[in-house]
Amino acid sequence: MQIILSIKSSSSYANYDNNGDTLYVFKRRQSSTTSGFSIRKLPQPQETNIDFLYEYYQKYNKNPRQRSRQTGKAASPAAAANTTETGKNQSDTESLIGKYVGNSKYMAVKYLGGGSFGNLYLGQHRDSRVTVAIKIERGDCDKPQLFLEYRFYKKLTRLPRGVPKIYTFGPIEDGRWNALVMELLGPSLEKMHENCGGRFSLRTVIQMTIQMIHLYRGIHESGILYRDTKPANFLLGQPNTGKWWIIHVIDLGFCKEWRREDGSHIVYQENKPFTGTVRYMSINNNMGREQSRRDDLEALVYMLIYFYKGRLPWQGITANTIIERYRMIGECKVNTPIPTLCSDMPMEYTLLLQSIRSLHFEERPSYSNLLTPFFQLLAREYALEMNDRVYDWTMSHEIKSPTLRFMQQQPEPVEEQSVSEKSISYSATKAAKYRKSLMNRIQAMANQPDDDNSKSVSAGTGNPGGSGGGGGAAAAAGGGGNPLADILHQHLNTDQSLLSTKQLNQPANIMDDNNHNSTSPTTQSK
């Protein structure tokens, strides 16, 4: 059992196990002559302390408004109208506290901050006290984004993980505001990257590569382009849950459907406005060309390189006008040889970018072929046991907490059941066998032709074979668990786990506690 989160009181330690699923309480045995702790397993608490979450959020998420200025996204009139400079608007944000969203039971509890398009509140369900995130936008803003975002989230809810759960969408105060109630997530990759010293380790980056190519595959197979790749738009799950290792995509405001109603691909166009963040956007986007699936993946690779190296060659380019700057950055991307861009990184990244850049506008990326080398790399470099719960932030981030620093200086709690040497050597042999069989299966996958267009991603199929480390049950139970094992399983057993086109076309299952079409008539007519 690997302990990653700890809370201490004078006589006991409380630790979440490395699934984040179970709370273990280690009680000091005061009367015993032998030192040690007894272990009691408690179910994870259902209800979260809202003040703790509020403080946590303030600490680990930058003020969204600062962030939007940094990325250069133009603030919408709605966001501008919410500046705290005017007393009226400040009181607007305060006035929503205690208000319910539509006729649901979700209430705004604390104001967290404002992004380019709206404000974020911490909310709570009236009965269950479960905490949620509530994104709010003015009902009368010029370009309503929130309903569009809600629709894209809805299309993606069939993905087993990587997308926040959406609970409801509805008006507040008779439509003066619209609100999207969703699962409350943890810190962003931007913040975690900063916390980890501005660079992630190779292992973390490889594991993120697998998670994110798979996530983009799910988005693309749902007919959607993401078009807003940047570290601030990917959030981890909350730290005290099994989703602390899962990367979630948020901010779907720039999404676009690449598949039209008749099933055909959108058409190629030029002189399009730039969409996304210039640092990560693809060369085609930089050149004003219509984006397609290849551009999402190219942007993803730039972000991964940035995560590993801490810098991209085109950072710091300045010019007199934005257009000129974008042009210069585009030229720098074209002129930087791929091996130079990926220097100091495994060869797999050079090959990944080369293969993505060679895709045609309408071409479907071979997601499995893109993923396979990274499973192999992980297996080769890190004696793969699919223990993908080892990420940089499970180490350095928490170590920064004074409680954990204190805990580190304390003697490790001793588990009562001692593990015999025999059982250790038995597990080592078992692990070696497992690893060998896994390597064979990965090799077999590499030799197979890539899955074709008729197949798509699994919606919570889990890991029924159990060969990958037990991700299945957790995935079925809400998208936590062991994502790499689950992703590998899906790629190894594509026939079992892939959804049919018919299933994909079925309406998404939204957890809408209004129990009716949650779109308010006011919003629909906009």
Residues annotated within the binding site are 135
List b or e across 371-390, with b for residues whose CB sees 16 or more CB atoms inside 10 angstroms.
bbbbbbbbbeeeebbbebbb
User: What number of residues does the chain have?
Assistant: 526
DSSP one-letter code for 172 = E
Taking alpha carbons only, the member of 136, 112, 123 closest to residue 59 is 112
Q: How far is the CB of 182 from ligand ATP (least distance, A)?
A: 5
Nearer to ligand ATP, 230 or 491 (CB): 230
Token pair for residue 354?
């080369």
Site residues (CB under 6 A) for ligand ATP?
A: 61, 64, 67-68, 73, 115-118, 120, 133, 135, 164, 182-185, 188, 232, 235, 250-251, 253
Phi, then psi, of 162 in degrees rounded to 5: 95, 0
Count CB atoms within 10 A of the CB of residue 242. Answer: 26
Residue with tokens 């104001």: 111
Alpha carbon distance 43, 40 (integer Å): 10
Is residue 495 part of the annotated active site? The answer reads no
Phi, then psi, of 289 in degrees rounded to 5: -95, 150
Q: How far is the CB of 137 from ligand ATP (least distance, A)?
A: 8
Nearer to ligand ATP, 116 or 493 (CB): 116
Contact 239, 203 (CB under 8 A): no
Nearer to ligand ATP, 171 or 253 (CB): 253
Among 92, 174, 228, 513, the one annotated catalytic: 228
List b or e across 280-304, with b for residues whose CB sees 16 or more CB atoms inside 10 angstroms.
bbbbbbbbbbbbbbbbbbbbbbbbb
Residue with tokens 């180490």: 395
**What is the per-residue DSSP string for 124-168?**
EETTT--EEEEEEEETT-SS--HHHHHHHHHHHTTSSSSS--EEE
Alpha carbon distance 162, 391 (integer Å): 16
Taking alpha carbons only, the member of 90, 104, 161, 158 closest to residue 134 is 104
Helix (H) or strand (E) holding 435: helix 421-447
List b or e across 497-507, with b for residues whose CB sees 16 or more CB atoms inside 10 angstroms.
bbbeeeebeee
Alpha carbon distance 77, 490 (integer Å): 44
Q: Which residues are annotated as a binding site for ATP?
A: 135
Q: What is the 3-state secondary structure (H, E, C) of 259-291?
A: ECCCCCECCCCCCCCCCCCCCCCCHHHHCCCCC
Nearer to ligand ATP, 135 or 455 (CB): 135
Taking alpha carbons only, the member of 487, 385, 471 closest to residue 430 is 385
Contact 378, 435 (CB under 8 A): no
Partners of 178 in the beta sheet? 137, 171
Q: What residue is closest to ligand ATP based on CB?
A: 115
**Active site members:** 228
